[in-house]
């Protein structure tokens, strides 16, 4: 029986495909056999070259909470276990520990105050000394320069304070302004005045003029 040329061309690709599938199947069978042999021998299969094994430092870099850290340290301890304590005993030990730390801080601060460089330096010559903290029942007083008297019965006073830093010893300049009540409008711009605190007289005024120390030239 004669076979036409078209039948031959149709059969050629199928034969070629069958011939090409045979090597792939044989390669897969070889890999399966190799894996079975490795498992039988107790060896672990080799990892692919493209996948890198996870590094140990990456796991150690994870943050651990302090409570978990203490728990882990207690679990690793090899000494005898401490006796069980009640919540009251724990609170008492905590109070004693805090008391000892407070006493240590007080002693350290007292020794630190006795050092020669820890005391505040005297005020600079020609500058007004820093105002002292008033005792209970006395009113604060400030001395400053009038920078504005445009408002009626109200002056704006600039307070300049020059002091030495208690720790570093550096000269620190501080400036603040306040509004004072001038009943007779006697203070002019540039005058050195002394003011004293009083009850609130308006939204901004909490001070009143006592005297004009020096008139502006």
Question: What domain range includes position 187?
Answer: 141-214
**Mean pLDDT in the chain?**
77
Is position 148 within any domain? yes
Is position 168 within any domain? yes
37-63 average pLDDT score: 54
Is position 97 within any domain? no
Is position 15 within any domain? no
Q: Which residues touch 163 (CB under 8 Å, ≥6 apart)?
A: 120, 123, 130, 171, 172, 174
39-61 average pLDDT score: 51
Q: Is the pLDDT of residue 16 over 50?
A: no
- Residue-wise pLDDT for 151-187, tens only, equals 999 999 999 999 999 999 999 999 999 999 999 999 9
Instruction: Give me the CATH number covering residue 199.
Output: 2.40.50.140
Give the pTM. 0.39
Is position 6 within any domain? no
- Residue-wise pLDDT for 94-128, tens only, equals 999 999 999 999 998 888 775 555 555 555 666 66
Is position 31 within any domain? no
Q: How many structural domains does the chain have?
A: 1
Which helix or strand (DSSP H or E) is residue 105 part of?
Answer: helix 87-114
């Amino acid at each position: 029986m004669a076979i036409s040329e078209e039948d031959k061309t149709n059969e050629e690709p199928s034969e070629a495909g069958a011939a090409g599938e045979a090597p792939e199947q044989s390669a897969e069978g070889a890999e399966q056999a190799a894996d079975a042999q490795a498992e039988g021998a107790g060896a672990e299969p080799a990892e692919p070259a493209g996948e890198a094994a996870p590094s140990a430092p990456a796991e150690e870099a994870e943050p651990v909470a302090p409570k978990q850290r203490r728990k882990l340290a207690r679990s690793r301890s090899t000494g005898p276990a401490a006796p069980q304590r009640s919540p009251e005993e724990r609170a008492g030990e905590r109070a004693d520990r805090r008391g000892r730390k407070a006493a240590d801080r007080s002693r350290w601060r007292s020794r630190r105050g006795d050092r020669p460089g820890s005391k505040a330096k005297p005020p600079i010559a020609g500058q007004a000394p820093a105002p002292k903290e008033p005792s209970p029942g006395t009113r604060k007083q400030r001395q400053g320069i009038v920078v504005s008297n445009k408002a009626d019965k109200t002056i704006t006073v600039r307070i300049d304070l020059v002091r030495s830093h208690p720790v570093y010893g550096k000269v620190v300049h501080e400036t603040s302004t306040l509004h004072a009540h001038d009943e007779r409008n006697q203070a002019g711009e540039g005058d050195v005045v002394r003011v004293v605190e009083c009850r609130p007289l308006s939204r901004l005024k909490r001070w009143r003029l006592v005297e004009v120390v020096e008139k502006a030239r």
